[in-house]
Structure 1
Amino acid sequence: MTHTIGQRELRNENAEIMRRVEAGETFTVTRNGKPVADLVPHRSELVEPAPRPTLGAIQEAFRRLGPIDTEQWYRDRAEADAVFGDDDPLEDPWSRQDQRTR
């Protein structure tokens, strides 16, 4: 369970809060009621390596994804191109001459 605490409470009770984090509790720190940071117990990758998902688990996760609406994807891409300009993933951006040097 994550506890929410204000910045002032963290400042005034930092020793107690750090003991609780060390014991496994997590906190969301707020400033003016808005979350600004999370305090979570440190997890050393050397001591506890993150488990790697198996190929079967990855395949199952992809099977649970919904179908892709390709027509919507093309519409979204056209709208983005209208705002940001066309992009070609096969184009080498370094092969173009710098327009500023002309």
Structure 2
Amino acid sequence: MSHSVGVRELRQHASEVLRRVEDGERLTVTVSGRDVAMLVPATRRAWRRYDEVADIWARPADPTFAATRDLLDQQVTDPFERHA
């Protein structure tokens, strides 16, 4: 269930209100009794240990990258070179 907080209370007690949100409470901000915004906890970043993601770095991002790179290296031309 979402509780509401008036804009005046939010302005006067911003730190307290934000602590409530940080603790997981969802708040609806009201202006003159009208709902105008939702305050919800920010998603926390999920950090992973290196050994959990090491396999991602151990393999190429694209298995066809080497072939594509070799193909491009053969076709590169200087676009500013004048041909007479």
Establish whether residue 7 from structure 1 lines up as the match of residue 17 from structure 2: no
Deviation at 1:34, TM superposition (A): 0.5
Instruction: List aligned pairs for 1:43-62, cutoff 5 A.
Output: 43-44=43-44, 46-47=45-46
Q: Deviations over 1:18-44 (max 9, x none)?
A: 111110001000001110000000014
SS in structure 1 at match of 2:38: strand
Deviation at 1:47, TM superposition (A): 2.1
Unaligned segments of structure 1, at least 5 residues: 49-102
Establish whether residue 22 from structure 1 lines up as the match of residue 22 from structure 2: yes
CA root-mean-square deviation = 1.6
- Partner Cα separation in structure 2 for residue 13 and residue 37 of structure 1: 17
TM-score (norm 2): 0.51
The one-letter code of the counterpart of 1:22 is E
- Partner Cα separation in structure 2 for residue 20 and residue 33 of structure 1: 21
- Partner Cα separation in structure 2 for residue 14 and residue 36 of structure 1: 16
- Partner Cα separation in structure 2 for residue 6 and residue 21 of structure 1: 14
Q: Deviations over 1:2-25 (max 9, x none)?
A: 111110010011100111111000
Aligned residues: 47
Q: Which has the higher contact order (CA 8 A, sep 6+)?
A: 2
SS in structure 1 at match of 2:11: helix
| Runs of 4 or more above 6 Å deviation | none
